[in-house]
A and B are shown apart, each in its own frame.
Chain A
Amino acid sequence: MAPVLEVSGLNTVFHTRRGLVRAVQDVSFSVEAGETLAIVGESGCGKTITALSLMRLIPQPPGEIVSGSVKVDGTDLLRLDDRTMRQMRGGKIAMIFQEPMTALNPLMTVGKQIAEMVMLHDGLPKAAAKNRAVEMLQMVRIPEPARRAKEYPHQMSGGMRQRAMIAMALACKPKVLVADEPTTALDVTIQAQILDLIGDLQREFGTAVLLITHDLGVVAETAQRVVVMYAGRKVEEGSVSDLFARPLHPYLRGLLGSIPRLGSARGLALSPDERLREIPGMVPALSDLPPGCAFAPRCAQADAKCHAQIPPFEAKQANHFAACWQA
């Protein structure tokens, strides 16, 4: 099956007073209809900038998408004029954001915010758009959708707002849904509900989902494939099962090692090597990256070559890629 979303060679930079910040470097991936691809990494690794680059919502200036292509159904978004791009946004590729508290307009009813989108893309008249908004709210399992549609965001709970946000994003049945940390700001029980909801609607509409998250638990539950990013670059890519079973890059191994497991949570006696491991050091500043592998300063296995040359991103096993001299 041809991928619905195909990103290749994406480079996004920010021109700042302290110099050029390469936020996204040579990032490529593709997502098929109905598939979920997760992009994981620590804060500041370029995940969100990648997502915003796809939507062409990088503030320009200081940001700039220097090169690459973002194809949705074969159309390269980066080559479109502003007007056509606006038709794609919300129509073909929609996004949900991390903070449901602040991502909705506080002065507009939730129903109107959804209806506005439907009127714009599907050309529905006002009354029909309002009905569609209520239907969408029902679809995201908001009780009493007709009443809730007339409410303002501040009258809803965080989970309910995120549902409304999802209803809005999916109102025009986009091909691609970019979900930027959709559950980070929510309680754990609500998190699971929201992830289930996204999964169900994805199956129903056949949407390709790009899930941006730092939470490996969320990845394991929802994604089929994973891209791991570090300091603006892809460092590993593969199926969820491969990555969790046989992580190749020391960074991913470090991430997996820093997840608490059930035994430790119960306070059982652990041998010293079973203690939670943390990755030493800090994420390097993107404006001041080392010449070789960006992870080398924090990597126990790094040698002279790692510090000198950037490792190529290549297949290490079948359908399992990594950028590491040691893997």
Chain B
Amino acid sequence: MLAYLIRRLLLMVVTLLGVSIAIFLLLRIVPGNIADILLDSAGMIDPAEKAKIVTDLGLDLPLPVQYWHWLSGLFHGDLGYSYVSEKPVIEEILPRIPITARLAGLALTFAICAGVPLGVISAVRQNTKLDYFLRILSLSGLSMPAFWLGLLILMACVKWFGSIPIYDRAPATFGAWLAMLAIPAASVGFRSSALIMRLTRSSMLEVLRQDFVRTAKSKGLSDTAVTYDHALRNAVLPVITTIGVETAFLFGGLIVTETVFNIPGVARFLVEAIRWRDYPMVQNLVMFIAIVVVTVNLIVDLLYMVVDPRIRLGA
């Protein structure tokens, strides 16, 4: 167990190193740098000025040297300065993390709370009207882009309430905070819940056909006990994997949703940084997202071991 954990942690470090090289190189392959974009937007081209910016930011150094500067900085906790705002990167990124984390957490809670029970119901009532309705609902959830659903909800708010909840950095009450984030969370959570629901359904259908479910019934257990105590636990492994993938996605992939709802989260900020070729910002943001992804993956694998004794005890 301990050996496994150590192996996994080492693997995480290797993965993150790979990610750091990839994002570093990819950024430099993208044409143009901060100097080009600044001067373009200013509408003037003074080669001397441009060369000065490039030298100041160290963009003329060989790539391995630039990479080394970034990496060694990372290990010292120094993420560098943003090219655009000229503030320390850490100060720019840190306040945005809780915003995205809350949105993702809320969306995920919604997705799990709706997706898992509905998937179970759909499987238990296979081929009934309820099942068909839920399957159509989930299909529409998967087919509808979150930003479009978000826009629809906003338009509905305007029509019915005459206003839309505006993003507020420090809402007065928990209720206000929840109301503010509930709509964006629901609009992205709907898609995730649809995915989780479909997977729970198919996984449950698979399990419900198995012999031990019949055994559980033959013991005289109630349908609820058979479904939840015996079947669901066996069906939940693939669902956990999906929840892991969705968590990772929600942490870095909500660009459009954050834009539509005007939420100053990580994803929207990342796009902004890419547009300015703000290398330190982009590199560190992507590294942050990568850390979230590999951590979630580790948690998923550990959860596997908690749920399934065959994995834990090495069958």
Q: Which residues of A contact B (CB under 8 A)?
A: 55, 57, 86-91, 94-95, 97, 99, 102-108, 116-117, 120-121, 152, 154-155, 165, 168
Contacts and interface: CB of A to CB of B under 8 A. Distances in A.
Contacts of B220: 86-91, 117, 120-121
Given A94-B218, A108-B230, A154-B309, 16 more contacts: A57-B217, A86-B222, A89-B217, A89-B219, A90-B219, A91-B220, A95-B218, A103-B212, A104-B212, A105-B216, A107-B308, A107-B309, A120-B219, A120-B221, A165-B215, A168-B219
Contact of B310 (A97, A102, A106): A106
A57 B230 CA distance: 17
Given A55-B218, A107-B233, A120-B219, A155 B313 contact: yes
B230 A105 contact: yes
Contact of A86 (B212, B221, B229): B221
Contacts of B308: 106-107
Given A105-B234, A107-B234, A120-B220, A57 B309 contact: no
A175 to B, nearest CB: 14
Contacts of B28: none
**Top 6 A-B pairs, shortest CB-CB distance:** A90-B220, A89-B220, A102-B211, A90-B219, A152-B309, A105-B212
A216 to B, nearest CB: 25
B41 interface: no
B210 interface: yes
Interface in B197-250: 210-212, 214-222, 229-230, 233-234
B124 to A, nearest CB: 13
Contacts of A116: 219, 221, 229
B45 interface: no
B49 to A, nearest CB: 67
A99 B219 contact: no
B215 A105 contact: yes
Contacts of B233: 107
A155 B309 CA distance: 10
A152 B315 CA distance: 10
Nearest to B234: A107
Contacts of A102: 210-212
B215 A104 contact: yes
Contacts of A168: 219
Contact of B211 (A88, A103, A154): A103
